[in-house]
Structure 1
């Protein structure tokens, strides 16, 4: 009840006080478990309360930009919420779909249709996969009021947009000649050749070489691209290996 009240008041910082008390209680439960049994400390509580707790804990972690931890708690809540409570499952699914989108794990079209979330997330997911940044931004802005009420607007605007850039660069590498990785040399991307695709993907004719270099540096800094920038030659030199410098998005958000 306290979590629900704090979320209604848009004062989620106060949730940490309640969360600390809950975690202390769970710790005591673990210590008092019979015969040293492995336990989370939650087992003595009704499943409905545990699902509610995990839902709000997942929401709190997303607000704190702990994406992987938030997704883990939300997934637990979704999996353990009974199918008789379809309204609650949909409520849990909304932030879970957003968290998974940021992590590059995309909800299926059939799941979105079943939970009536195709309008909100269908195009956003497809555009994100393609690296079509202008489309992602347009979908976020189109649903901005709804996303704000769910506490998801900022996290999608900050994280999904950067992920769209990463996916665009990765697609450009895949379409580049010699992208098979048969050479012993590390894969490279010519920044000058990224300007055209970037202008198309973001529907912004003003984007130039300096913008591409800035975005590349940001992707490297955030761990979304394993590479270094060779400024003198206008190249992005990517890490050799199975991912060609683009590790799975989910791996960059591990707690």
Structure 2
């Protein structure tokens, strides 16, 4: 026991906090040592360590004790105390970012324990969804404020190097609890940073992934494609799970912009849920699109892409109507021809008025260049590029 405290004391005098970070990490084997699972270690910690490091270590050892009896809520409380004590120490370090590796470990453990407590509370019905994660976000924000406000230190020792890691952890929380509006000031802070392109590639990939997803939900599909494409292109090829997660959002965005994925890509990443969607959009098969949305509805809703895929209905209509126009070979296309095309696909609950509304919507969105002659029940299309590329309309 005493050797452990001496090791902590010695580590604090080193220039690298990576070792100290391991000593306070719940991913380190020491948490299984019964001698370090102490319900109360305040007195002995004060004997060997200065404040606030004694508070950090005492809270961590109590957390080890709580973890040994599977009291995750108490572990979470202890981790909050550890982070709060760390912030005191971090603030006092002028022109020094020695504590960044330690902060990374502490914050990661905090988020994971908050998530575990939330799941347990949700399972037993003893709390609101996301309550602990939201409180954890407040604690993480205290670290972010320290890092973001360090504007006077030389860049090599600036605490600003911790900003993107913290932002990514906050993104994970805000997306989990459904409070995406809280991401906006974080994005603004990173985008205005002079070192935004100098963070580690792994951190930038995670950042681009979440910002791309937010852009998608905000209907900014061009930005969504840019950020998600960066994340996909720079994600390590061995991280199959991460590549699949990125593609779940990148594929619908690209389809909305007129670029359909290959079936080989879908098969490689086990995303065959999109296969019929792709076939429907490519061939203008509205009925197949409807069936695919129903068949994989649970997957689309759970991943949050259902409403995005619904937008593909307009593109599918455009493809179908374009085929009808090519078959008839005229720039004055009877609306009845569109109605018959829809009914031929088994869509019986549709009439002329609804068909006219669909065509009007396609004209309004730029998918068709022309106008409707309501009196003659015809669509009069431009003689040049009547059905512009989807990307242009988007």
When normalised by structure 1's length, the TM-score is: 0.84
Q: Equivalent residues in 2 for 1:120-199 (5 A)?
A: 120-157=273-310, 159-176=311-328, 178=329, 187-199=331-343
SS of equivalent residue, structure 1 residue 189? strand
Contact 1:60 1:70 in 2 (8 A): yes
Give the corresponding residue for 2:175: 7
How large is the RMSD of aligned CA atoms in angstroms?
A: 1.4
1:93-136 superposed Cα distances (whole Å, 9 cap, x missing partner): 11111111222211001111111112x01111101111111211
CA drift of 1:42 comes to: 3.1
Instruction: Give 1:240 shift.
Output: 2.4
For 2:248 and 2:224, the matched residues in 1 are separated by 12
d(CA) in 2 for partners of 1:123, 1:67: 22
Greater RCO, 1 or 2 (C-alpha within 8 Å, sep 6+): 1
CA shift for structure 1 position 22: 1.5
In the aligned structure 2, how far is the partner of 1:82 from the partner of 1:164?
34
Shift in Å, 1:141: 2.2
- Distance in 2, matches of 1:150 and 1:206, equals 30
2:389 equivalent in structure 1: 248
Aligned mates of 1:144, 1:67 — CA distance in 2:
22
- How many Å separate the matches in 2 of 1:66 and 1:252? 14
Matched position secondary structure for 1:223: coil
* Runs of 5+ consecutive residues of structure 1 not aligned to the other structure: 30-40, 180-186
Structure 1 residue 206, shift from structure 2 partner? 3.1
Alignment counterpart, residue 216 of structure 1, candidates 359, 365, 370: 359
Residue 225 of structure 1 pairs with residue 368 of structure 2: yes
Partner in structure 2 of residue 88 of structure 1: 242
Cα-to-partner distance string for 1:112-164 (whole Å, 9 max, x where unaligned): 1111112x01111101111111211221222222112221111211x111111
* Structure 1 position 60, deviation (Å): 0.4
Native 8 Å contact 2:335 2:378 kept in 1: yes
Residue aligned with 2:258, SS = coil
Higher alpha-carbon deviation: 44-53 or 12-21: 12-21
Question: Which is higher, the Rg of structure 1 or of structure 2?
Answer: 2
SS across alignment from 1:233: coil
Q: Is the 8 A contact 1:68 1:250 kept in 2?
A: no
Q: What is the alpha-carbon distance in structure 1 between the residues aligned to residue 357 and residue 388 of structure 2?
A: 20
- Find the partner of 1:66 among 210, 215, 220: 220
Per the normalisation by structure 2, the TM-score is 0.55
Alignment partner of 1:232: what SS?
A: coil
Note the C-alpha offset of 1:57.
1.0
Q: Could you say what secondary structure the match of 1:205 adopts?
A: coil
> If each structure's helix is expressed as a fraction of its own residues, which one has the higher value?
2
**What do the CA deviations read for 1:194-235 (whole angstroms, capped 9, x no partner)?**
21111123x222322212111111111111111111112211
Q: Give the Cα–Cα distance (whole angstroms) in 1 for the partners of residues 343 and 321 of structure 2.
A: 12
For residue 22 of structure 1, what is the aligned residue in structure 2? 190
Cα distance, 1:19 vs structure 2: 1.3
CA 24–42 in structure 1, closer or farther in 2 if over 3 Å, else same: closer
